[in-house]
Amino acid sequence: PATDPFPVDPLRFVRHVGLLVDLEVLLQDRLAPALEAVAGHPVDPAVRVSPHADFQSGAPLALARELGRPPREIAAEVAAKADLAGLAEIAVSGPGFLNLTVSGSALDEALRATAADGRLGVPRTTVPRRVVIDYSGPNVAKEMHVGHLRSTIIGDALARMLEWLGDDVVRVNHLGDWGTPFGMLVEHLIDRGGDADHSISDLTAFYQAARVKFDNDDDFRRRARLRVVALQSGDPVSRELWRELVSRSERYFLDVYARLGVTLGPDDFAGESRYQDDLDGIVAELGEKGLLTESDGALCVFPAGFTGRDGVALPLIVRKADGGYGYAATDLAAIRHRVRALGGQRLLYVVGAPQRTHFEMVFAVARAAGWLPDVVTAEHIGFGSILGADGRMLRTRAGDTVKLAGLLDEAAGRASAPAIGIGAIKYADLSGDRRGDYVFDLDRMLAITGNTGPYLQMAHARVRSIFRRAGRPAGTITVTEPAERDLALVLLGFEPAVRAAAGSAEPHRLAVHLHDVAAAFSAFYERCPVLRAPTEEVRRSRLGLADLTARTLHTGLFLLGIEAPEEI
């Protein structure tokens, strides 16, 4: 599991429980009674961060429509009734908005509490949930491709965030380690002398060579088919060779994870093969529950509400006509295992968008079969594709799928340090809405300006360097200048940003926030001298803001799985 860069001081944490640093929530709470008094029923205060004031509420506009009265009049009435003493100034603006400007003392208090907290004002959840995150899931004897890269990066960021917020996270690497191709792979391994460590240098080449023989050599094809049968019936020699192939691949994947700084370890592998003994039972149970339909010799479930473009019901095939089990049957067994044996309460599947229907059908069938109780949520965390410069799926010039290791080599080689190159790739993936596609453009990813990983790493290192020159620690924060205020307000948005990113499984919400922090800091640094501040007190206060900025960037990048070196 991920280690916490700022471990919780338990006593300090206890002291800060109940101390609200979330200004948005504080303002909502104070505004709510005034709105209720005017409306005659509870109203959502809808307080949001705003470019026009610190915060803004549009609640009077909706209320005015409801009551059939002028919005500005309603806004004025709410403003007069609201008790915001010591917290904020309130003013009616535009067609009937309420602008809220936080008082200096409330800002200082919230900042000081945040700075004093080892967790930057982000409490651990008091009701931890067991979250099972399925991510990475590459296939044995195949190269990881860019789709696996996205799953690995996004899944790891989610695992880190949820774990840090206090959930009990179980990482599952659903390795593709079973199925008919293993007949041909094991047979090819035998032809090569039977030693996976010595005879395989390039897994993709190995796979392709087996494939070519399978397609062109009748005798090999016959042997491969017999080998599948032997493997599935537990023949020890076949099993041993298969095991070698799997562990050879696992070592390769672990290598990639280490290079990526991903928290998946050897104990997280739980491949498709783990569920093979459960599959007969899965099908039997579906049969008993009356959910199975035979179609062209295959056993299928037709979950309600799934139809193809032609309006015909879509089948989830649980047993093929030849008696073999496929991907769907395994996922049904896996979901049952995750609920029953792992105690999962929230199940996340970080897998590309093309598999969306597959997962929705698996969830529907699992619910119908009683394996996925209502209290357990299951979510497909889908994502788009990585495109080449031509706007099409990323391919090499020869038209092959691009190999992950090569991309990492190139990024690490072109940056000044591997942490920067790898961080650039990860940040580029995490900083956009995951549902969208993006173009793999190393020049843009590695740029030190714009919304990039290197920009944030640089911003962090720059703030740290101030401390090396300052030679004295930060002091109590007191905000006075407008640029200090702007930075302070952004810094206080860390907690909502982390919570939003984890709640909706959207790492970009945190990434965007970190970029805002870095931008607010550079605006502040331009206008407010730190080391040459007018007085010692101001200097120490500004060092306090700088320190909080550095810790926010460091923790935020850590949660995204990106290193933040002290010096660059």
Please identify, using beta-carbon distances, which residue of 69 and 320 lies nearer to ligand ARG. Answer: 320
Give least dist CB 137 to ligand ARG, A.
3
Nearest approach in angstroms of CB 508 to ligand ARG is: 22
- HSE-CB of 164 using CA atoms within 13 angstroms: 30
Shorter beta-carbon distance to ligand ARG: residue 71 or 155: 155
The only residue of 54, 77, 134, 187 in contact with ligand ARG, by rule CB under 6 A: 134
Q: Is 326 helix (H, G, I), strand (E, B) or coil?
A: coil
Amino acid at 124: R
Nearer to ligand ARG, 145 or 540 (CB): 145
CB of 324 to ligand ARG, least distance (A): 17
Smaller CB separation from ligand ARG, 131 or 351: 351
Among residues 111, 116, 162, 101, the alpha carbon closest in space to that of 135 is found at: 162
Q: Choose between 145 and 554: whose C-beta lies nearer to ligand ARG.
A: 145
Please give the helix or strand (H or E) that residue 300 lies within, else none. Answer: strand 298-301
Q: Minimum distance from CB of 334 to ligand ARG (Å)?
A: 6
Class of residue 334 by CB neighbours under 10 A (exposed 0-12, middle 13-18, buried 19+)? buried
> Which C-beta is closer to ligand ARG: that of 139 or that of 238?
139
- Among 133-141, 210-218, 378-386, 453-461, which window interacts with ligand ARG (CB under 6 A)? 133-141
Sole binder of ligand ARG in the list 60, 71, 137, 261 (CB under 6 A):
137
Q: How far are the Cα atoms of 158, 443, 493, 545 from residue 385, in angstroms, in the given order?
A: 19, 19, 30, 39
| Closest separation in Å from C-beta 408 to ligand ARG | 19
- Site residues (CB under 6 A) for ligand ARG, limited to 334-353: 334, 349, 351
| Residue nearer to ligand ARG on the CB measure, 58 or 137 | 137
User: Contact between 176 and ligand ARG (CB under 6 A)?
Assistant: yes
Nearer to ligand ARG, 137 or 344 (CB): 137
> Which window, 33-41, 131-139, 380-388, 413-421, contacts ligand ARG (CB under 6 A)?
131-139
Going by C-alpha positions, the residue among 129, 102, 79, 83 that lies closest to residue 20 is: 102
Residue 13 contacts residue 123 (beta carbons within 8 Å): yes
Are the C-beta atoms of 432 and 438 separated by less than 8 Å? yes
CB of 155 to ligand ARG, least distance (A): 10
Can residue 268 be called a binding residue for ligand ARG (CB under 6 A)?
no
- Residue 313 Cβ vs ligand ARG, minimum distance, rounded to whole Å: 22
Structure tokens at 126: 């008091």
How buried is 284 (Cβ within 10 angstroms: 0-12 exposed, 13-18 middle, 19+ buried)? exposed
Site for ligand ARG contains 167 (CB under 6 A): no
Using Cβ positions, the residue closest to ligand ARG within the complex turns out to be 137
173 binds ligand ARG (CB under 6 A): no
Q: Whose Cβ is closer to ligand ARG: residue 70's or residue 354's?
A: 354
Helix (H) or strand (E) holding 392: none
Minimum gap (Å) between residue 443 Cβ and ligand ARG = 29
**Under a CB-based contact definition with an 8 Å cutoff, are residues 128 and 166 in contact?**
yes
Helices (H) then strands (E): counts for the chain = 22, 13
Number of residues that bind ligand ARG (CB under 6 A): 9
* By the rule CB under 6 A, 541 interacts with ligand ARG: no
| Residue 331 binds ligand ARG (CB under 6 A) | yes
Residues 58, 47: Cα–Cα separation, whole Å: 7
Q: Is 293 helix (H, G, I), strand (E, B) or coil?
A: strand
Q: Which is nearer to ligand ARG, 75 or 351 (CB)?
A: 351
181 lines the binding site for ligand ARG (CB under 6 A)? no
Q: Which residue has the tokens 């968008």?
A: 353
Please give the full DSSP string across 184-223, using - where no structure is assigned. HHHHHHHHTTS-HHHH-S-HHHHHHHHHHHHHH-HHHHHH
Q: For 397-420, b where at least 16 C-beta lie within 10 A, e where not — what string? A: eeeebbbbeebbeebbeebeebbb
d(CA 272, CA 526): 55
CB 547 within 8 A of CB 474: yes
Does 139 sit near ligand ARG (CB under 6 A)?
Answer: yes
Dist CA 141 CA 402 (whole Å): 16
Q: Is 404 helix (H, G, I), strand (E, B) or coil?
A: helix
- Report in angstroms how near the CB of residue 410 gets to ligand ARG at its nearest: 23
Task: Give least dist CB 421 to ligand ARG, A.
Answer: 25
Considering the rule CB under 6 A, would residue 431 count as an interface residue with ligand ARG?
no
Q: Which of 150, 174, 434, 509 binds ligand ARG (CB under 6 A)?
A: 174
Query: Do the Cβ atoms of 42 and 59 come closer than 8 Å?
Result: no
Q: Which part of the chain contacts ligand ARG (CB under 6 A), choosing from 134-142, 309-317, 512-520, 530-538?
A: 134-142
Residue 243, phi then psi, degrees to nearest 5: -60, -40
Nearer to ligand ARG, 30 or 174 (CB): 174
Least separation in angstroms between CB 134 and ligand ARG: 5
Residues lying near ligand ARG in the complex (CB under 6 A): 134, 137, 139, 174, 176, 331, 334, 349, 351
